[in-house]
Amino acid sequence: MSIKNSLKKLFTYQPIVSESENFSLLQKPYEQTENHSSTSENSLHKIYSSLDVNLEYVKSKYNTLINSDVITREFVLNARGRQYKAFILYIDGLVDSEIMNNFVLKPLMMRNKNNLFEGAQNRIISEAVTNNVTVRKVKKFDLSEYLKSCLIPQNALKEVVEFEKAFQGVNSGNCALFVDTLSIAFDIEVKGFKQRSVEKPSNEIVIKRST
- 154 backbone dihedrals φ, ψ, rounded to 5°: -120, 130
Q: Return the higher-pLDDT residue of 62 and 139.
A: 62
End-to-end, the C-alpha distance of the chain in Å comes to 107
Distance between CA atoms of 30 and 26, rounded to whole angstroms?
8
Q: Is the pLDDT of residue 174 over 90?
A: yes
Strand ranges (DSSP E) for the chain?
A: 70-79, 82-91, 123-130, 133-139, 157-160, 175-179, 185-188
- Determine the pLDDT at residue 205: 53
Q: Is the pLDDT of residue 175 over 80?
A: yes
Q: Is the pLDDT of residue 26 over 50?
A: no
Neighbours of 87 (CB within 10 A): 18
Distance between CA atoms of 30 and 163, rounded to whole angstroms?
30
- Determine the pLDDT at residue 42: 45
pLDDT tens digits, one per residue of 90-146: 999 999 989 999 889 988 887 666 555 544 455 555 566 666 666 656 567 788 888
